[in-house]
Amino acid sequence: MSVLFEKKESSGDQVELVKFKELEGKIRVLIEEYSKVKKRNQELEGLLKKKDGELEEVNGLLKQLYEERDTVRAKVDSLLDMMQDIRVPG
């Protein structure tokens, strides 16, 4: 028996010991739940980093496609301007 409970245990002491054990059990449950939540949070942070990377990649591709579209549009406009100078005999 520990030093805290050396004296003869009365029913009041037993109640306190039971309450202490209940508190200890609840604290263990909280610690376990905290560990689970912390692990899940780390998993979600990893997924978020992965998705951020994918989003950045897609945004880069989209930017490249817009630049290509603008280049093609400029070439088509240039060709249309050149065609206006051509006179078709009617």
- Has residue 1 been placed in a domain? no
Domain count of the chain? 1
- Has residue 3 been placed in a domain? no
Angle of CA points 34, 36, 41, to nearest 5°: 90
**Res 58: pLDDT:** 98
Looking at per-residue pLDDT, the higher value among 82 and 71 belongs to 71
- Has residue 90 been placed in a domain? no
Containing structural domain, residue 14: 9-85
- Has residue 4 been placed in a domain? no
**Res 2: pLDDT:** 47
**Res 85: pLDDT:** 79
Q: If you ran DSSP here, which 8-state letter would residue 71 be given?
A: H
**Res 1: pLDDT:** 43
User: Residue 23 is inside which H or E element, if any?
Assistant: helix 11-85
C-alpha–C-alpha distance, residues 37 and 33, integer Å: 6
27, 19 contact by CB (below 8 A): no
- Has residue 80 been placed in a domain? yes
- Has residue 63 been placed in a domain? yes
pLDDT digits (tens, 9 = 90+) for 23-74: 999 999 999 999 999 999 999 999 999 999 999 999 999 999 999 999 999 9
- Has residue 31 been placed in a domain? yes
Joined together, the tokens standing for residue 53 give 């990377």
Joined together, the tokens standing for residue 87 give 């006179």
